[in-house]
Amino acid sequence: MSFIIQKIKELGLELPPAPKPVGAYIPAIRTGNLIFTSGILPVIDGKVIYTKEIGGFLNSVSRGYDAAKLCALNALSVINDIAGLDNIERIIKVTGFVNSAPSFNDQPKVINGASELLVSIFGENGKHVRSAVGVNELPLLASVELELIVQVK
Amino acid sequence: MSFIIQKIKELGLELPPAPKPVGAYIPAIRTGNLIFTSGILPVIDGKVIYTKEIGGFLNSVSRGYDAAKLCALNALSVINDIAGLDNIERIIKVTGFVNSAPSFNDQPKVINGASELLVSIFGENGKHVRSAVGVNELPLLASVELELIVQVK
Amino acid sequence: MSFIIQKIKELGLELPPAPKPVGAYIPAIRTGNLIFTSGILPVIDGKVIYTKEIGGFLNSVSRGYDAAKLCALNALSVINDIAGLDNIERIIKVTGFVNSAPSFNDQPKVINGASELLVSIFGENGKHVRSAVGVNELPLLASVELELIVQVK
């Protein structure tokens, strides 16, 4: 069994099925030894689970954190489909867009949901660069959209 | 004649002259076998043709779609200038920022204007990863700003 | 002494200490001959110096320009820490997110603060592709967030 999928289980989590694209694109692509994912939403079974802006009345930071964590799991799933998670050498970059209520400035605490998960799973090789950015609207009303760049063997 | 420019003509379209930068940067750059473009606006002859937010009273999704398509043509034009379109091996990534009215969540349908064009032109090699993101403002009041990463021979 | 740090001094500037990450990530990473930075804020000594939206009552374009310039210096500092500035072969890409007041569309003039600095320092090798994007909120209320991709020897 995959070492990384085992590790995900040990964290009490499960690799979800890779979400299907919501437009005319593919979920992940390899060029050289890098894999780029598409912008990944907090989806389960085709349904966006975390919706609407973070930091307003509806969604606390902790809900945003969970959304980012789900995005990261989904992103790993699309990478698994094209390359196998055990072939990931290092996580290079996370870009996280946070649907942000006016005056909400804790985007880093939200995207930590993805970053901390990646370090939990990949250890030293999970340490990555990151941008966390607030935006006013995201596709399908999602709370978070997340991209990964990883280096593979 | 360029095979790709021929293909663009067969689609009833024309490769526009590459838009000039609107600041202290260059339109496209090659590193290794990747070309990155700058953020490209829906410009013709130096004038932004599609302005203001999508999804409000002014601009329907279909107008956003056309804006994204024009951005993609302009992006191909800047790539043509530095490498020649026939040297594109694969489209790797599209990043599309959509000037979005409050509560507008159909960014994917807008950026399909770019994605579907790229697949029409490049076929299997046009399939790419993509992020579609809503933002509150874009340079020069543009409705869409689009980046491309392509792999060249 | 570093040729580039000397050049920065000749411009009357100083390389600041590299800002510490504000979340579970690292400031810069090398993959192949590219270095990606995280999203860098206009910070001095751990404090965000330029805050709130650009283009409203509080912050003029010229203040945004200064914020972008500080972000670029900070980004060079994090690159210096992992690779040494004299090992930069070329600046590849700048991505600048501008905390934008409603109806503010001069993001390019803001991000010129970073772009013009990079060309002043690196000359021909400082010419890069760029995206300037308006957003409604940024981490820690920052006015600008900036990413760099550079190619190293």
Residue C20 lies in a domain: no
Q: What is the pLDDT of residue C58?
A: 83
**Residue B142 DSSP label:** B
Q: What is the pLDDT of residue B24?
A: 87
- The range of the structural domain enclosing residue C115 comes to 3-8+28-152
Residue B22 lies in a domain: no
Is B14 in the C-facing interface, judged by CB distances under 8 Å? no
Is B31 in the A-facing interface, judged by CB distances under 8 Å? no
Is B102 in the A-facing interface, judged by CB distances under 8 Å? yes
Percent of chain A's residues with pLDDT above 90 = 95
Is B150 in the A-facing interface, judged by CB distances under 8 Å? no
Is A81 in the B-facing interface, judged by CB distances under 8 Å? no
Query: Is the full-model pTM beyond 0.90?
Result: yes
**Residue A142 DSSP label:** B
Is B129 in the A-facing interface, judged by CB distances under 8 Å? yes
Residue B7 lies in a domain: yes
Is A123 in the C-facing interface, judged by CB distances under 8 Å? no
Q: Which of A17, A18, A34 is nearest to A26 (CA)?
A: A18
Percent of chain C's residues with pLDDT above 90 = 95
Is A139 in the B-facing interface, judged by CB distances under 8 Å? yes
Is B22 in the C-facing interface, judged by CB distances under 8 Å? yes
Which chain C residues have a beta carbon less than 8 Å from that of B139? Answer: 105-108, 132-134
Residue A127 lies in a domain: yes
Give C30→chain A minimum CA distance, Å: 8
Which chain A residues have a beta carbon less than 8 Å from that of B106? Answer: 139
Q: What is the DSSP string of A123-141?
A: GGGG--EEEEEEESB-GGG
What are the backbone dihedrals phi and psi of residue A72, each rounded to the nearest 5 degrees, phi first? -65, -40
Residue A25 lies in a domain: no
- Chains A–B, number of C-beta pairs less than 8 Å apart: 87
Q: Which chains touch B (3 or more CB pairs under 8 A)?
A: A, C
* C-beta atoms of B129 and A97 within 8 A: no
**What are B48's two structure tokens?**
């932004």
Q: Are strands C144-152 and C34-37 parallel, antiparallel or unpaired?
A: antiparallel
Summarize pLDDT for A79-114 with one digit per residue, the tens.
999 999 999 999 999 999 999 999 999 999 999 999
Helix, strand or coil for residue C102? coil
* C-beta atoms of B29 and C103 within 8 A: no
Which chain C residues have a beta carbon less than 8 Å from that of A115? Answer: 23-25
Residues A109-129, mean pLDDT to the nearest whole number: 98
Count: domains in chain B: 1
Which chain A residues have a beta carbon less than 8 Å from that of C95? Answer: 131
Residue A61 lies in a domain: yes
Summarize pLDDT for C99-125 with one digit per residue, the tens.
999 999 999 999 999 999 999 999 999
CA closest to B134 among chain A residues: A137
* C-beta atoms of B128 and A28 within 8 A: no
Residue A24 lies in a domain: no
Q: What is the pLDDT of residue C77?
A: 98
Residue B113 lies in a domain: yes
Burial (CB < 10 A; 0-12, 13-18, 19+), residue C10, is exposed
Q: What is the pLDDT of residue C49?
A: 97
Residues B73-79, mean pLDDT to the nearest whole number: 98
Report the alpha-carbon distance of residue B15 to residue B17 in Å, rounded: 7
CATH of the domain at A77: 3.30.1330.40
Which chain B residues have a beta carbon less than 8 Å from that of A140? Answer: 105, 108
